[in-house]
Amino acid sequence: MPAFLPEFYAAYGSNLWHDQMRGRCPDAVVAGSLLLTGWRLVLRKFALIEPDAAAACPVGLWRITQADLEALDRYEGPHTYRRTRLRLPDGSEAWTYDEIVHRPGPPAAEYVQRLRNGYRDFGFDTAVLAAAVAASGYREDG
């Protein structure tokens, strides 16, 4: 049985997709989801979240092991994202990743599909994702 950390990882991008997380972090377990008020989903080449008092962004929570956290560090950084603590609505915190290198978009079709898969897997309303995709300049026809 894996030894879970007493903490969680909050995903807002392609790590919402269960198949991707199973490949990256085989011991990770879905722990729930929530709507993160005061944050907006933004898509450039990849997803990020930015503070925005008028917005809300769904996030998926994963219960992770130390090995999972180390794997996430390899996949998400260290040169593109930085691991940081995110305050959740109940006052607790979860690990997440902040983009530290500006990578202009729009995102690739394959990446947009991974985001859509993740929103489907968590049962999120897709309006937030659709707005971010539209704002990114992504076009369905290429």
- Binding residues for substrate, as ranges, are 9-14
CA–CA separation, 31 vs 100, rounded Å? 27
85: helix, coil or strand?
A: strand
Determine contact, residues 119/87, Cβ cutoff 8 Å: no
Tokens representing residue 119 in the block: 């929103």
Annotated binding site: 9-14
45, 105 contact by CB (below 8 A): yes
* Identity at 99, one-letter amino acid code: E
The C-alpha atoms of residue 29 and residue 103 are separated, in whole angstroms, by 30
